[in-house]
Amino acid sequence: MLTLKTQQLQLMKKIKLLSLAALFLFLNCETEKHKFPIEKRYWTAEDYVSIIRQLKYGYKSDEKLPTFNNPETRIVVEKLIDQQNFKVVLNDSELGLTYKNNVASSFFDRWRDMNKIYDAVDRKDKYLYEKEMLAVWHYGLKLQQLYFKLANDQIIQEADDPESNKLKRNVLSNANTMIGNYAIYLDEVNREKYYSKEGLKIYAEGIDTYFKEIIELYPEANYSDMLHKVNLMLKKSNSEKVKSSLSNLKKLIESK
């Protein structure tokens, strides 16, 4: 017959084992709840559908989204904004234009869904995820360059007369649409107070990099509305870094 002390020890061991099992199940459920295909080298537009849905609706209001600063979830953000996900297809010279245009359109739709994932602000009107939100923005700015170029390439390829004035107007019309989309990025100057100093630096780097690229890509497009927006934002900005980037953009537009 077991002594009372032995029975107590056995009971304590059982309780400990049950507690460990419960903890394991809890952690396993948490992992399964936020499962992302991080083992895949590239995420497809189809992958993004479920990934975006999970990021937008799978987290509780008091639950932290994946961030660059969290070593456990950083990989999710890095995969989410990895431009190679679309470049690997859209820059492949072996693939057809129609196929690449369809893929580009799917990625563009997914990016528009991504824009609202990291735009939350706290009670002091500061962005909670400024670095992640800007990384999503930059992902979209680069994507649009390929998206609109592929559309124009297909227009030219399928035209009876690739040198016709009508075709050239259509190509520039598409470019002007992209330029209008880019100008929306400049609206963030109106929300400078939402950013930290580091965030404004990252924001300005986006102007320096991606706006220069589209002007080099379409130097003959109409930048008058963008120039007007730049002039307005120069008056509103209080950040020297942002004002410097806007001034450089203004000079570049005027030089064209």
DSSP per-residue codes, 161-175 = -TT-HHHHHHHHHHH
DSSP 155: H
pLDDT in tens, 197-213: 999 999 999 999 999 99
CA distances from 254 to 10, 175, 216, 224 (A): 82, 18, 13, 9
pLDDT in tens, 125-134: 999 999 999 9
Look at residues 82, 114, 88, 81 and name the one whose alpha carbon lies nearest to residue 103. Answer: 88
Given this model, what pLDDT does residue 141 score? 98
> Which residue stretches of the chain are H helix?
4-33, 45-57, 74-80, 84-90, 97-114, 130-158, 165-186, 197-206, 212-217, 224-236, 240-255
Provide the pLDDT confidence category of residue 32 given band limits of 50, 70 and 90: low
Q: Of 54-63, 193-202, 207-216, where does mean pLDDT reach its minimum?
A: 54-63
pLDDT above 90 coverage of the chain, percent = 79
Mean per-residue pLDDT of the chain: 89
Query: Would residue 127 be called left, alpha or beta, if left means φ above 0 and alpha means ψ between -120 and 50 degrees?
Result: beta
* Whole-number Å distance between alpha carbons of 68 and 105: 28
* Whole-number Å distance between alpha carbons of 244 and 154: 37
pLDDT above 70 coverage of the chain, percent = 87
Q: Of 152-156, 182-186, 243-247, where does mean pLDDT reach its minimum?
A: 152-156
Given this model, what pLDDT does residue 95 score? 97
Given this model, what pLDDT does residue 30 score? 41
Given this model, what pLDDT does residue 181 score? 96
Provide the pLDDT confidence category of residue 18 given band limits of 50, 70 and 90: very low
Q: What one-letter code names the amino acid at 239?
A: S
* Whole-number Å distance between alpha carbons of 156 and 122: 48
Given this model, what pLDDT does residue 35 score? 87
Given this model, what pLDDT does residue 16 score? 52
Q: What is the mean pLDDT of residues 103-132?
A: 96
- Model pTM score: 0.85
* Whole-number Å distance between alpha carbons of 158 and 98: 11
Q: How crowded is residue 154: how many other Cβ atoms within 10 Å of its Cβ?
A: 15
Q: How crowded is residue 245: how many other Cβ atoms within 10 Å of its Cβ?
A: 24
Given this model, what pLDDT does residue 84 score? 98
